[in-house]
């Protein structure tokens, strides 16, 4: 009995707990709906990971010319994250296809790269029974803000212009409401303050080229930057990043949000991905023009001391180039091809 009390005291959740572990959402319809409840548990687990990946794709504007969200992933990565074998994941994907919860569009061989283009996986809407779902209101502005600046109708907080963090949605920054709740409990507030170990934070600031290199490659892989933007643009970003993750990430954000801003203004997606454009020559041209602009901006940022507001100048220059390319895309009728 004493051992049980000790376990409860040490590990049981209390009413004052304000933290929660990261988790995957398990849709109720997988167990309730007569069509899906006989699916293998491993298939249901893979489906949960794909649902999460679908959210990331939406955040990163991975949509085709029809506005449909697509996923790009390596089977090995899904196997690693779900702690399943590669064979089990392949079997799960087949079963999801059979149940019409996913479909795969193969994009063929790319003569330029000498490799197969990545497949597009489309998550399909399931059949629902009453009580299986509720419809979420989509806030369009969220798609064009850094992840930590997303808001919902129930929260009247406005995004902070000073925020520069744009990390994984799984790691939100503490908001005002969160800090107020901590203040209501002196114990929790004390624990929170103690967790802000200066030595720990400083250790992340120490120059560690190997760690930075791994983080940069991890981001490139996660966002499929070579496939989405092409070699020249990514190599420019790596060059200016100089094996410093923070520096690479800052330039990555500038480039990404400049393109997004232009697309939002014109309400058209710039054809920079081979798989969503039939005209491969136009994609090559877009990528080359953007990489040339990026190289020129890097040079100017380093040498032209007359530019005072460099962040604004870089963003505006990239956006203007993207707008120019979108106008060309419209005039050439690329969207209609």
Instruction: Express each pLDDT in 22-32 by its tens digit.
Output: 666 777 788 88
Task: Count the neighbouring beta carbons within 10 Å of the beta carbon of residue 195.
Answer: 9
Q: Quickly state the pLDDT bin for 183 (edges 50, 70, 90).
A: low
SS3 call for 121: strand
> Buried (b) or exposed (e) across 88-127, using 16+ Cβ within 10 A?
bbebbbebbeebebbeeeebeeeeeeeeebbbbbebeebe
Q: Of 8-17, 56-65, 75-84, where does the model show the most confidence?
A: 75-84
CA distance 126 to 22: 25
How large is the average pLDDT for residues 278-297? 88
Q: Of 10-14, 21-25, 195-199, 245-249, where does the model show the most confidence?
A: 245-249
- Which of 265, 251, 246 is CA-nearest to residue 322? 265
How far apart, in Å, are the Cα atoms of 28 and each of 22, 34, 129, 142, 184? 19, 12, 10, 26, 35
Q: Given this model, what pLDDT does residue 168 score?
A: 46
Long-range contacts: 144-151, Cβ < 8 Å, 24+?
Answer: 144/257, 144/260, 144/261, 144/264, 146/253, 147/59, 147/172, 148/172, 148/173
Token pair 């398990």 in the structure block, residue: 26
Q: What is the pTM of this model?
A: 0.46
Q: Given this model, what pLDDT does residue 95 score?
A: 92
Q: What is the DSSP letter of 12?
A: S
- Which of 182, 133, 175 is CA-nearest to residue 150? 175
Asked which of 137-146, 171-180, 258-267, 286-295 is least confident by mean pLDDT, the reply is 137-146
- Which of 1, 17, 13, 83 is CA-nearest to residue 48? 83
Token pair for residue 263? 């697309």
Locate the domains of the chain by residue range.
18-123, 208-336
For the segment 64-107, what is each residue's pLDDT rounded down to a tens digit? 777 788 888 888 888 888 888 989 999 999 999 999 999 888 87
Q: Of 44-58, 276-290, 314-328, where does the model show the most confidence?
A: 314-328
Its CATH architecture, for the domain 18-123, is: Orthogonal Bundle (1.10)
CA distance 304 to 321: 20
Q: Given this model, what pLDDT does residue 131 score?
A: 56
CA distance 50 to 73: 9
């Amino acid at each position: 009995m004493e051992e049980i009390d000790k376990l409860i005291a040490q590990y049981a959740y209390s009413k004052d707990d304000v933290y929660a572990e990261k988790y995957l959402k398990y849709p109720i319809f997988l167990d309730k709906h007569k069509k899906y409840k006989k699916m293998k548990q491993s298939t249901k687990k893979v489906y949960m990971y794909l649902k999460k990946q679908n959210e990331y794709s939406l955040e990163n504007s991975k949509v085709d010319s029809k506005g449909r969200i697509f996923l790009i992933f390596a089977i090995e990565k899904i196997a690693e994250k779900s702690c399943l074998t590669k064979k089990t994941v392949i079997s799960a994907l087949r079963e999801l296809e059979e149940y019409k919860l996913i479909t795969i569009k193969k994009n063929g061989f790319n003569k330029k790269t000498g490799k197969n283009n990545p497949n597009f996986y489309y998550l399909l809407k399931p059949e629902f029974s009453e009580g299986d779902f509720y419809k979420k209101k989509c806030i369009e502005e969220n798609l064009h803000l850094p992840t930590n600046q997303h808001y919902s109708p129930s929260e009247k907080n406005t995004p902070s212009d000073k925020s520069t963090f744009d990390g994984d949605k799984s790691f939100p920054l503490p908001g005002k409401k969160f800090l107020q709740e901590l203040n209501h409990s002196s114990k929790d507030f004390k624990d929170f303050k103690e967790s802000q170990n200066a030595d720990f934070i400083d250790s992340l600031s120490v120059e560690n080229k190997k760690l930075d290199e791994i983080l940069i490659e991890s981001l490139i892989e996660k966002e499929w930057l070579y496939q989405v933007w092409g070699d020249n643009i990514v190599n420019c970003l790596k060059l200016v990043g100089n094996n410093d993750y923070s520096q690479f990430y800052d330039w990555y954000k500038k480039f990404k949000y400049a393109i997004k801003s232009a697309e939002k203004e014109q309400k058209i997606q710039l054809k920079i991905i081979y798989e969503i454009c039939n005209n491969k020559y136009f994609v090559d041209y877009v990528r080359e023009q953007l990489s040339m602009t990026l190289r020129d901006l890097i040079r100017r940022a380093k040498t032209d001391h007359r530019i005072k507001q460099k962040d604004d100048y870089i963003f505006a220059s990239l956006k203007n180039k993207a707008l120019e390319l979108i106008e060309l895309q419209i005039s050439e009728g690329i969207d209609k091809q």
